[in-house]
Structure 1
Amino acid sequence: MRKPQSQETLSEKLKRGLLSFGLKSNLLRTHTLRQVEKGLYDYIVVENPERRPRQVQRLRFMAMKNLLHAGARGARRGLIGEKPLRMLADTFVGKFVMADPQKSKAFAKVYGFEPPSFLVVSPTERCNLRCVGCYAGDRSHQARSLEADTFRRILREKTQSWGSHFTVISGGEPFLYRGENSVDLIDIIAENADNYFLAFTNGTLITETLAARMADVGNVTPAISVEGFGEETDARRGRGTHERILRAMRCLRDAGVPFGISVTATRHNAERILSDAFLDFYFEEQGALYGWIFQYMPIGRDASFDLLVSPRQRLWMLERELHILEKTGYFYVDFWNGGVLSLGCIAAGRAGGYLHVDWNGNIAPCVFFPYYMDNIYDLYKKGRCLSHALKSQLFLDIRCWQAKYGYQQPPERVRNLFRPCPMRDHHGVAHAIVERTKAKPLNAEAAAAAEDSEYLMRFINYDHRLEEVLDPVWERQVRLYEAW
Structure 2
Amino acid sequence: MIGEVTGIRKIRMLYLQLLYRCNFECLHCFHGKRLQHADAFTADEAVKLLTLMRELYDTEAVTLLGGEPFVYKDLAQVVRYAKRELGLRVEICTNGYRIERRLTEIAPHLDLLRVSLEGIGSTNDHIRKFGSYQSALSALDVARGLGVRTGATMTVTSRNINEVLPLARTLEHYEVEQLKLHCLRPVGHAADHPELLVTDSAAYVRLRDQLQNAALTIEVIVDEDLSEHGAPDVRAPADGPTEIERIEADPRGALTMSCKAVGRDSHAFWYDKLADHIVHRPSANDELTFEIPNVVYGRA
TM-score category by the smaller chain? Answer: 0.7 to 0.9
Query: Please, which moves more after superposition, 231-240 or 335-344?
Result: 335-344
Q: In 2 relative to 1, CA 366–252 (structure 1 residues): closer, same or farther, beyond 3 Å?
A: same
Which amino acid in 1 is paired with 2:254? N
Q: In 2 relative to 1, CA 353–390 (structure 1 residues): closer, same or farther, beyond 3 Å?
A: farther
Is 1:147 equivalent to 2:42 in the alignment? yes
Q: Deviations over 1:111-157 (max 9, x none)?
A: 74432221111110010011112111134543321122221111111
Aligned 1:235-314 pairs, distance under 5 A: 235-273=126-164, 275=165, 277-283=166-172, 285-301=173-189, 303=191, 304-310=193-199, 311-314=201-204
SS of 1:130's partner is coil
SS of 1:355's partner is strand
Alpha-carbon shift at residue 243 of structure 1 (Å): 1.7
The answer on whether the counterparts of 1:363 and 1:389 sit within 8 Å (CA) in structure 2 is no
Unaligned runs of 5+ in 2: none
Alpha-carbon shift at residue 353 of structure 1 (Å): 2.1
What is the percent sequence identity of the aligned residues? 19
Aligned to 2:243: 351
The answer on whether the counterparts of 1:116 and 1:350 sit within 8 Å (CA) in structure 2 is no
2-structure distance, mates of 1:351, 1:321: 31
Is 1:174 equivalent to 2:64 in the alignment? no
Aligned to 2:94: 201
Query: Please, which moves more after superposition, 197-206 or 298-307?
Result: 298-307
2-structure distance, mates of 1:109, 1:269: 43
Is 1:221 equivalent to 2:121 in the alignment? no
The answer on whether the counterparts of 1:261 and 1:292 sit within 8 Å (CA) in structure 2 is yes
Which amino acid in 2 is paired with 1:318? R
Is 1:188 equivalent to 2:74 in the alignment? no
With normalisation by structure 1, the TM-score equals: 0.52
SS of 2:15's partner is strand
Q: Deviations over 1:24-65 (max 9, x none)?
A: xxxxxxxxxxxxxxxxxxxxxxxxxxxxxxxxxxxxxxxxxx
Alpha-carbon shift at residue 252 of structure 1 (Å): 1.0
User: What CA RMSD, in Å, does the superposition of the two structures yield over aligned residues?
Assistant: 3.4
The answer on whether the counterparts of 2:62 and 2:89 sit within 8 Å (CA) in structure 1 is yes
Unaligned runs of 5+ in 1: 1-106, 179-183, 403-419, 423-484
Of 266, 269, 277, the match for 1:374: 269
With normalisation by structure 2, the TM-score equals: 0.80
Q: Larger RCO: Structure 1 or Structure 2 (Cα < 8 Å, ≥ 6 residues apart)?
A: 2
The answer on whether the counterparts of 1:125 and 1:140 sit within 8 Å (CA) in structure 2 is yes
Alpha-carbon shift at residue 337 of structure 1 (Å): 4.4
Q: In 2 relative to 1, CA 113–191 (structure 1 residues): closer, same or farther, beyond 3 Å?
A: closer
Q: In 2 relative to 1, CA 176–225 (structure 1 residues): closer, same or farther, beyond 3 Å?
A: same
Q: In 2 relative to 1, CA 123–109 (structure 1 residues): closer, same or farther, beyond 3 Å?
A: closer
Which amino acid in 2 is paired with 1:227? E
The answer on whether the counterparts of 2:183 and 2:226 sit within 8 Å (CA) in structure 1 is no
Aligned to 1:136: 31
Is 1:333 equivalent to 2:221 in the alignment? yes
SS of 2:255's partner is strand
Q: Deviations over 1:257-283 (max 9, x none)?
A: 11111111101211211x2x3322111
Query: Please, which moves more after superposition, 362-371 or 114-123?
Result: 362-371
1-structure distance, mates of 2:65, 2:170: 25
Aligned to 2:102: 210
Alpha-carbon shift at residue 232 of structure 1 (Å): 0.7
Q: In 2 relative to 1, CA 345–245 (structure 1 residues): closer, same or farther, beyond 3 Å?
A: farther
Q: Deviations over 1:299-338 (max 9, x none)?
A: 11252332112312123233444556xx434321123348
Alpha-carbon shift at residue 163 of structure 1 (Å): 1.4
Query: Please, which moves more after superposition, 298-307 or 167-176?
Result: 298-307
Of 10, 15, 19, the match for 1:120: 15
2-structure distance, mates of 1:306, 1:225: 20
Q: Larger strand proportion, structure 1 or 2? A: 2
Q: Larger helix proportion, structure 1 or 2? A: 1
Of 316, 325, 332, the match for 2:206: 316
Aligned to 1:427: none
Aligned to 1:41: none
Alpha-carbon shift at residue 395 of structure 1 (Å): 4.8
Alpha-carbon shift at residue 343 of structure 1 (Å): 9.4
